[in-house]
């Protein structure tokens, strides 16, 4: 599935609310957050890489190419997306890139399939995931042909909001259902920002489809 779609896991956040460091390497149920994300995301795409700055050796156990931002300074996830689009265009034969955040261990297993289907109905658009009426701009399918416009947006205009570029480029929304966990409903894009979030994820791990 998705062999003609490149994938990038965005793991370049500063993790201030977790005390700094690499949030994606935090342990969850005996594996790292990044392991959980990769186990769900990797089967959905072809070539897969990791977006992160700094010493790539700290991700040696992940066995993925690590892409440092092509834009200087900490420009946020949009810089990681630009880097990945340029990587996909230069080093793969893929015409689209799927993105996923590295701190979201319950992401949908049909994420890419559904994004591809929606984008096919509006060629050239960005397909962006939604749930519970909320956008998740770091979970999207991007045409590699958008890379030049994105570079101008990020470098020349110095605008860093992912959603702002998606709105300008043109998009289609893809709604994902909430997950069942006992009597509760959980957002499949639930992300780990605080120690309390990590503790909640530990509790959810046993009740959500592995």
The phi and psi torsions of 18 (rounded to 5 degrees) equal -105, 10
Contacts of 203 (CB under 8 A, 6+ apart): none
Residue 76 assigned ligand-binding role: no
Residue 11 assigned ligand-binding role: yes
Residue 27 assigned ligand-binding role: no
Select from 142, 113, 138 the least CA-distant residue to 127.
142
| DSSP state for residue 110 in the 8-state scheme | T
The number of CA neighbours under 13 Å toward the Cβ of 194 is 3
Residue 12 assigned ligand-binding role: yes
Residue 4 assigned ligand-binding role: no
Residue 103 assigned ligand-binding role: yes
What is the Rg, in whole angstroms, of the alpha carbon atoms belonging to the chain? 16
- Binding-site members for GTP are 10-12, 23, 69, 103
- Binding-site members are 10-12, 23, 69, 103
- Binding-site members for Mg(2+) are 103
């Amino acid at each position: 599935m998705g062999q003609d779609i490149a994938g990038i896991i965005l793991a370049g956040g500063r993790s201030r609310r977790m005390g700094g460091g690499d949030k994606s390497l935090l342990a969850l149920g005996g594996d790292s957050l990044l392991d959980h994300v990769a186990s769900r995301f990797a089967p959905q795409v072809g070539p897969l890489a990791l977006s992160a700055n700094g010493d790539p050796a700290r991700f040696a156990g992940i066995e993925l190419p690590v892409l440092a931002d092509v834009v200087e300074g900490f420009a946020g996830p949009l810089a990681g997306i630009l880097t990945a689009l340029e990587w996909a265009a230069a080093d793969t034969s893929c015409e689209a890139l799927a993105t996923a955040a590295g701190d979201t261990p319950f992401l949908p297993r049909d994420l890419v399939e559904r994004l591809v289907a929606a984008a096919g109905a509006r060629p050239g658009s960005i397909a962006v995931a939604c749930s519970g009426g909320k956008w998740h701009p770091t979970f999207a399918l991007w045409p590699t042909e958008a890379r030049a416009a994105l570079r101008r947006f990020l470098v020349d205009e110095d605008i860093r909001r992912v959603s702002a570029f998606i709105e300008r480029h043109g998009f289609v929304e893809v709604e994902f259902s909430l997950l069942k966990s006992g009597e509760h409903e959980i957002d499949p894009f639930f992300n780990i920002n605080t120690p309390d979030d990590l503790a909640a994820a530990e509790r959810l791990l046993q009740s959500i489809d592995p």
